[in-house]
Amino acid sequence: MTTTAQTERIMMLPSDQDSSGRTFGAEELAYVKEVLESGTLTTTKGKFGKMLEQKFAEKFEAKYAYACTSGSAAIHIAVAAINPNPGDEIVTTSITDMGALAPLMYRGAVPVFAEVDTKTLNVTAKTIEKALSPRTKAIIVTHLFGNPCEMDDIMALAKERNLPVIEDSAQTFLAKVNGKYAGTIGDIGCFSLQQGKHMTTGEGGMVVTNDDALARHMFLYINKAWGYGDANPDHYFMALNYRVSELQAAAALGQLEKLEECVQNRIRTADILTEMLQGIDGIETPKIAENASHVYWKYCLTVDDSKIEGGSVGMANLLKVKNIFSAPRYIVKPAFMCQVFQEKKTLGDSQFPFNLARSEAIDYRMENYPDTAKALHDVLVLPWNEKYTNAHVEYIAENVRAAVETLRK
């Protein structure tokens, strides 16, 4: 039996997990070859680590950028620079990666989870404000999926309360808010170079800042707090080795040179999808602030299950058959529902730093977070990639539309 119906067609989408959706080529190879031939693989002696940091800072229009081993390391370095006292609170988001949370506990800080906007899944000034207390030491905002938080309001609140802001920009490279890049608006920005991010070296991270003192502290924290270049260097405080190697830096430099094109391609194709999905009752395309750009790490739809049978999960099941591997409900449960928070499994039996916390600050229960529950329930995260062509986007649009029609109540 043959069929010519368009919807019977199965297409392979480029994937960020292999070369089909990644951009490594002659540029990275040439840099990596140069490193190997030089015989110098440590960034303390080689030139690629320094070049990467300088070019990254230039690209993001920040004063300082430092490379480190992961996005989790970047958060650890940022929190260390804020230097909380044990038991201090850091307000963060209920929807984030564990790599953005474990470093808080390692530094003795108690994560206090702010609610999220049900459409963007991002924290807002309003939700952060409700989570503040006299013990708040800092705010971490996470720009989810490539869509920046509403930074004007958040920075105004932070200024009023005299609190530093760390931006977790692991999913958001080169998004702009009022002409400034996400990650450079707060006090410190953190990026991840993990396999699935906009630019990658498999694992890796970057921190950026415009502040001299924070930059100095972060540089030291990456380097066991050894005062490289000082007249009388010493290990000034407790810190780890979070350096990347020259090999990683070389590959990252090649990736950085392709970042603008990667982001522009993602925006161009995402805009086409948004256009093609207008006016479909029961699903909503991404909500983006007027003064901001979305750089589409992923493309999120919200699905109304009062109109569509099975909601986001129903949609995902139909799309999967078409080789479109979406994530309904994203991380499914908020971070605070994970064992580490529910059972306070940290250092030995101490429950540190939760043992120092106000009980209201660590009341990690679903019923305290109705908007987080709603946001996760409705969201359908579509994979996105810089190598999508118009044909890929039309294929996705066609199948989203078909799934909605099949499941319409």
Ligand X SMILES: *Cc1c(COP(=O)(O)O)cnc(C)c1O
Q: Which is nearer to ligand X, 197 or 344 (CB)?
A: 197
CA distance 181 to 198: 15
Binding segment for ligand X among 66-74, 146-154, 323-331, 344-352 (CB under 6 A)?
A: 66-74
Contact between 72 and ligand X per CB under 6 A: yes
Residue 194 C-beta: closest distance to ligand X, Å: 4
Q: Which is nearer to ligand X, 123 or 404 (CB)?
A: 123
Point out which residues pair with 302 in neighbouring strands. 284, 379
Q: Which is nearer to ligand X, 102 or 276 (CB)?
A: 102
CA distance 295 to 144: 10
Residue 119 C-beta: closest distance to ligand X, Å: 18
What's the alpha-carbon Rg for the chain, to the nearest Å? 22
**In the bound complex, which residue of the shown chain has the CB atom lying closest to ligand X?**
71
Query: Binding to ligand X (CB under 6 A): which residues in 133-152?
Result: 142
Structure tokens at 373: 């529950």
Q: Which is nearer to ligand X, 283 or 375 (CB)?
A: 375
The answer to whether the beta carbons of residues 163 and 141 sit under 8 Å apart is no
Here the contacts of 269-273 (C-beta below 8 Å, separation 24 or greater) are 269/384, 269/388, 269/389, 269/390, 269/392, 269/393, 270/294, 270/296, 270/299, 270/384, 272/390, 272/393, 272/397, 273/299, 273/393, 273/396, 273/397
Q: Which is nearer to ligand X, 118 or 169 (CB)?
A: 169
Q: Any idea which residues carry the catalytic annotation?
A: 197
**Which residue of 84, 186, 205, 314 would you call a contact of ligand X, by CB under 6 A?**
205
Residue 192 C-beta: closest distance to ligand X, Å: 3
Burial class (CB in 10 A: 0-12, 13-18, 19+), 176: middle
Q: Which is nearer to ligand X, 150 or 322 (CB)?
A: 150
Q: Kindly write out the interface string for residues 165-184 of this chain, putting x where it contacts ligand X by CB under 6 A and - elsewhere.
A: ---x-xx-------------
Burial 201-240 (b: 16+ CB within 10 A, else e): bebbbbbbbbeeebbebbbbbbbbbbeeeeeeeeeeeebb
Contact between 186 and ligand X per CB under 6 A: no
**Which residue of 70, 136, 201, 372 would you call a contact of ligand X, by CB under 6 A?**
70
CA distance 142 to 212: 23
Contact between 16 and ligand X per CB under 6 A: no
Number of residues that bind ligand X (CB under 6 A): 14
Residue with tokens 């699935």: 196
Contact between 187 and ligand X per CB under 6 A: no
Residue 177 C-beta: closest distance to ligand X, Å: 17
3-state secondary structure of 256: helix
**Which residue of 192, 223, 293, 372 would you call a contact of ligand X, by CB under 6 A?**
192
Q: Give 148-211 as a DSSP string.
A: ---HHHHHHHHHHHT--EEEE-TT-SS-EETTEETTSSSSEEEEE--TTSSS-SSS-EEEEES-
Residue 242 C-beta: closest distance to ligand X, Å: 11
Residue 98 C-beta: closest distance to ligand X, Å: 8
Q: Which is nearer to ligand X, 381 or 393 (CB)?
A: 381
Pairing of strands 64-68, 205-209: antiparallel
Neighbours of 357 (CB within 10 A): 21
Q: Which is nearer to ligand X, 57 or 335 (CB)?
A: 335
Residue 116 C-beta: closest distance to ligand X, Å: 13
CA distance 51 to 257: 12
CA distance 77 to 242: 9
Query: Binding to ligand X (CB under 6 A): which residues in 75-114?
Result: 96-97, 99-100
3-state secondary structure of 64: strand
Binding segment for ligand X among 68-76, 127-135, 235-243, 355-363 (CB under 6 A)?
A: 68-76
Contact between 248 and ligand X per CB under 6 A: no
Using CB under 6 A, list all residues that contact ligand X: 70-72, 96-97, 99-100, 142, 168, 170-171, 192, 194, 205
